[in-house]
Amino acid sequence: MRELSLREWEDAWAVPGVVGEAAEEAGLGRLEAMSLATAAVELANNVLVHAGSGFLRVRVVRNESGTGVEVTVTDSGPGIADQDAALSEGASTAGGLGVGLPGVRRLVDEFYLFSEKGVGTTVVVRKYVR
């Protein structure tokens, strides 16, 4: 397992490399690896914008769905008050385009969002070898 602390914008720059290493180890194709890295960078940026800091963990997984890479991003920020809205196209609490979480969900094979207001947010995404 690889772990990155997300505290500065520069920390997000390391995300594609860490995801790429795991993708290569798992045997993901180039397109799948790029999709997952893009999703992971978006999640890391969300942590920095909305919570200020957090962690990103990357690991190779082997389960009933196959072999792939799992990215888990966790923060202790304010949480997501309205998860349905956050997953809707065009919704933004930070003045952006509102394509972040919906875009991440489209880029990966599995997407799980766990958030509690005032406690924090965890997002787990997985991309599998085709």
How many Å apart are CA 25 and CA 10, to the nearest integer? 25
Helix or strand holding residue 110 (H, E): strand 110-116
What are the pLDDT digits (tens) for 4-27?
999 999 999 999 999 999 999 999
Amino acid 100: pLDDT: 84
Ranges of each domain in the chain? 2-128
Q: Which pair of tokens denotes residue 16?
A: 């594609």
What pLDDT does residue 99 have?
Answer: 56
Q: Which residue has the tokens 């997002």?
A: 123
Write the pLDDT tens digit of every residue in 44-94: 999 999 999 999 999 999 999 999 999 999 999 999 888 888 888 765 555
What's the fold here for domain 2-128?
Heat Shock Protein 90 (3.30.565)
H/E element holding 63? strand 54-63
